């Protein structure tokens, strides 16, 4: 493949009560709408101000191994920043929840780390019962404390069961990077991972079901594929960091879709407590990186085909798959069959929205060849802010008729974060005004954190983190967000 094409692939990854405009000049949101922020365990837990590394830092995940491996830091776009520069929420959680409460938050999206609860090889377990003896009780206790703190503050937890990281016994990302043929723990490329993560989801549902109703199974499955198997690059390079690895890449998509459905079933079986008494003990969704997709050249009809293929890969594989059971065996852009074991496995859709993508057709060239013919476009993706895109992706998701949560939205441009927040919320408000059923909004992120391969180089926090003291200082965007939450809307022009 030419450098030009490869370069372009590098750019790929790096995103009720209805208000009425006339009667609602304050642009208020629906009464039950929830406001909050989002984080993930790997990104915020390490860095405890006083607790020992042994207690604070989870060393058992593929991402921990990845960002601390000298060979990976040498050979990949991975900064290798000390993970202890993270905000240390494993220790500071209760204090942070107080800040959220002061700011009027009523929703907090967090993840439970599989590798914290199951640091050691639990692959012999064939049921949730059999999994129990392997669980780390200290980690479980700490997560219970998290939920108690949220409950006391009147903040509803939305829990991601898997936010990008896998335990080392499931994924040896460094080993697979250097010698894929001989690596044994192949993470998402191994169908057994779908089975194992479903048991883990069942365990989590049983253990925390009395504290949690809102579950997200996976975070941005397509982004994991791109940064791990298609084109790890400056935007994000994740384990195993393979380039155009067609065979595992296609398996990764399929296994993640199947994993969601199996996790859904386990959660419905194991979580039987309806915390908020809305009639459902477990509301199970998936979080997708939804993007506003446009043709690079609107006058070129082939680019419209490219838009359709990008929409298929980013959105439809998961959304059509988990609602109608639509299954595209060869990832060629057409659904081949319907699978009952995948259908009706979605209670809500989580949208992470960051940006727009311009695509141009490169058909008949296909970087994944015969294995995945729909990968036939070049995406251009930047961190340029495109605020109306959030309304567009909400409209796109609304087609499925399910409730929607904005599970992440924010900007690394912390200087300009206030107008960007307002622009996003204006576009979101308009979509709701037009009928979209959006239930809540989680800003990414509560506090600056470990931005995967970038470490602390990219910062998104409402609160600025002082790496040395761990002090949190509200940015102007935190103040503005507090006002919007207090007004439950954007206010008159």
Q: Which is nearer to ligand FCB, 9 or 460 (CB)?
A: 460
Stretch (H or E) spanning 144: helix 137-152
Nearest to 326 by CA among 310, 307, 308, 345: 345
Q: Which is nearer to ligand FCB, 29 or 42 (CB)?
A: 42
Binding residues for ligand FCB restricted to 405-444, rule: CB under 6 A: 408, 444
- Is-contact 238 184, C-beta < 8 A? no
Q: Whole-angstrom Cα distance, residue 314 to residue 295?
A: 15
Look at residue 456 and give its three-state secondary structure.
helix
Kindly state the number of chain residues that form the binding site for ligand FCB, as judged by CB under 6 A.
12
Binding residues for ligand FCB restricted to 329-358, rule: CB under 6 A: 352
Q: Which is nearer to ligand FCB, 311 or 451 (CB)?
A: 451
The least distance separating ligand FCB from the CB of residue 218, rounded to whole angstroms, comes to: 10
The least distance separating ligand FCB from the CB of residue 128, rounded to whole angstroms, comes to: 27
The contacts of residue 179 (CB under 8 Å, 6+ apart) are none
The least distance separating ligand FCB from the CB of residue 309, rounded to whole angstroms, comes to: 21
Q: Whole-angstrom Cα distance, residue 410 to residue 252?
A: 27
289 binds ligand FCB (CB under 6 A): yes
Q: Which is nearer to ligand FCB, 89 or 135 (CB)?
A: 89
Out of 90, 118, 452, 463, the residue judged to bind ligand FCB by CB under 6 A? 452
Nearest to 79 by CA among 450, 455, 465, 467: 455
Q: Which is nearer to ligand FCB, 111 or 255 (CB)?
A: 111
Residue at token pair 């990281």:
165
* Angle ∠(146,349,19) on CA atoms, nearest 5: 95
Task: Encode 30-42: b = buried (16+ Cβ within 10 Å), e = exposed.
Answer: beebbbbbbbbbb
Binding residues for ligand FCB restricted to 44-73, rule: CB under 6 A: none
The least distance separating ligand FCB from the CB of residue 354, rounded to whole angstroms, comes to: 7
Nearest to 227 by CA among 375, 11, 40, 379: 11
The least distance separating ligand FCB from the CB of residue 408, rounded to whole angstroms, comes to: 6
The least distance separating ligand FCB from the CB of residue 446, rounded to whole angstroms, comes to: 12
| Site track 313-332 with ligand FCB (rule: CB under 6 A), x = hit | --------------------
The least distance separating ligand FCB from the CB of residue 103, rounded to whole angstroms, comes to: 20
Binding residues for ligand FCB restricted to 210-229, rule: CB under 6 A: 219-220, 223
40 binds ligand FCB (CB under 6 A): yes
Q: Whole-angstrom Cα distance, residue 34 to residue 158?
A: 11
Out of 118, 146, 381, 460, the residue judged to bind ligand FCB by CB under 6 A? 460
In eight-state DSSP terms, residue 227 is I
In eight-state DSSP terms, residue 30 is P
The least distance separating ligand FCB from the CB of residue 470, rounded to whole angstroms, comes to: 20
The least distance separating ligand FCB from the CB of residue 238, rounded to whole angstroms, comes to: 10
Q: Which is nearer to ligand FCB, 15 or 209 (CB)?
A: 15
The least distance separating ligand FCB from the CB of residue 287, rounded to whole angstroms, comes to: 7
Q: Whole-angstrom Cα distance, residue 397 to residue 400?
A: 6
Residue at token pair 């406001």:
35
Q: Which is nearer to ligand FCB, 135 or 458 (CB)?
A: 458
Q: What are phi and psi of 490, to 5 degrees?
A: -90, -10
18, β-bridge pairs: none
- Is-contact 474 8, C-beta < 8 A? no
Q: Which is nearer to ligand FCB, 156 or 408 (CB)?
A: 408
103 binds ligand FCB (CB under 6 A): no
The least distance separating ligand FCB from the CB of residue 363, rounded to whole angstroms, comes to: 28
451 binds ligand FCB (CB under 6 A): yes
- Is-contact 457 79, C-beta < 8 A? yes
453 binds ligand FCB (CB under 6 A): no
Q: Which is nearer to ligand FCB, 219 or 385 (CB)?
A: 219
405 to 178, 204, 349: CA distances (angstroms): 38, 21, 6
90 binds ligand FCB (CB under 6 A): no
Alpha carbons within 13 A on the beta-carbon side of 186: 19
Q: Which is nearer to ligand FCB, 115 or 289 (CB)?
A: 289
Nearest to 81 by CA among 468, 448, 456, 461: 456
- Is-contact 412 383, C-beta < 8 A? yes
160 binds ligand FCB (CB under 6 A): no
Residues that bind ligand FCB (CB under 6 A): 40, 43, 219-220, 223, 289, 352, 408, 444, 451-452, 460
């Amino acid at each position: 493949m030419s450098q030009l094409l490869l370069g372009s692939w590098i750019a790929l990854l790096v995103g009720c009560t209805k208000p009425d405009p006339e009667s609602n000049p304050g642009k208020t949101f629906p009464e039950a709408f929830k406001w909050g922020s989002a984080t993930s365990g790997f990104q915020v837990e390490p860095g405890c101000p006083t607790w020992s590394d042994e207690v604070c830092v989870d060393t058992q995940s593929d991402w921990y191994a990845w960002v601390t491996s000298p060979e990976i830091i040498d050979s990949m776009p991975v900064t290798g920043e000390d993970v202890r520069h993270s905000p240390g929420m494993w220790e500071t959680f209760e204090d942070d929840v107080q800040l959220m409460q002061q700011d009027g938050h009523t929703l907090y999206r967090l993840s439970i780390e599989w590798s914290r609860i199951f640091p050691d090889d639990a692959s012999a377990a064939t049921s949730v019962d059999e999994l129990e003896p392997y669980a780390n009780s200290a980690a479980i206790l700490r997560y219970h404390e998290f939920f108690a703190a949220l409950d006391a503050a009147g903040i509803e937890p939305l829990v991601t069961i898997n936010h990008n990281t896998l335990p080392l016994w499931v994924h040896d990302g460094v080993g697979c990077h250097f010698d894929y043929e001989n690596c044994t723990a192949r993470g998402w490329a191994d169908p057994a991972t779908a089975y194992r993560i479903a048991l883990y989801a069942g365990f989590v549902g049983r253990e925390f079901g009395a504290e949690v109703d809102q579950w997200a199974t996976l975070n941005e499955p397509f982004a994991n594929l791109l940064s791990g198997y298609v084109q790890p690059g400056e935007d994000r390079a994740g384990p195993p960091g393979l380039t155009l690895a067609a065979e595992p890449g296609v398996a990764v998509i399929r296994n993640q879709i199947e994993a969601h459905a199996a996790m859904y079933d386990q959660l419905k079986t194991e979580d039987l407590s309806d915390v908020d008494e809305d009639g459902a003990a477990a509301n199970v969704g998936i979080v997708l990186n939804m993007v506003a997709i446009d043709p690079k050249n609107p006058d070129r009809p082939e680019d419209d085909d490219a838009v359709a293929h990008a929409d298929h890969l980013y959105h439809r594989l998961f959304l059509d798959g988990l609602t109608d059971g639509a299954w595209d065996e060869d990832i060629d852009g057409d659904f081949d069959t319907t699978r009952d074991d995948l259908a009706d496995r979605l209670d809500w859709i989580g949208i992470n929205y960051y940006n727009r993508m311009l695509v141009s057709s490169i058909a008949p060239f296909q970087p994944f060849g015969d294995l995945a013919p729909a990968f036939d476009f070049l995406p251009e993706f930047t961190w340029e802010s495109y605020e109306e895109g959030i309304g567009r992706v909400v409209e796109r998701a609304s087609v499925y008729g399910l409730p929607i949560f904005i599970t992440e939205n924010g900007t690394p441009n912390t200087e300009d974060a206030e107008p960007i927040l307002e622009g996003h919320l204006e576009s979101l408000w308009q979509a709701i005004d037009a009928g979209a059923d959006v239930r809540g909004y989680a800003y990414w992120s509560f506090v600056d954190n470990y931005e995967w391969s970038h470490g602390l180089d990219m910062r998104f926090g409402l609160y600025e983190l002082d790496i040395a003291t761990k002090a949190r200082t509200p940015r102007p965007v935190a103040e503005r967000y507090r006002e919007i939450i207090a007004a439950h809307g954007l206010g008159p022009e």
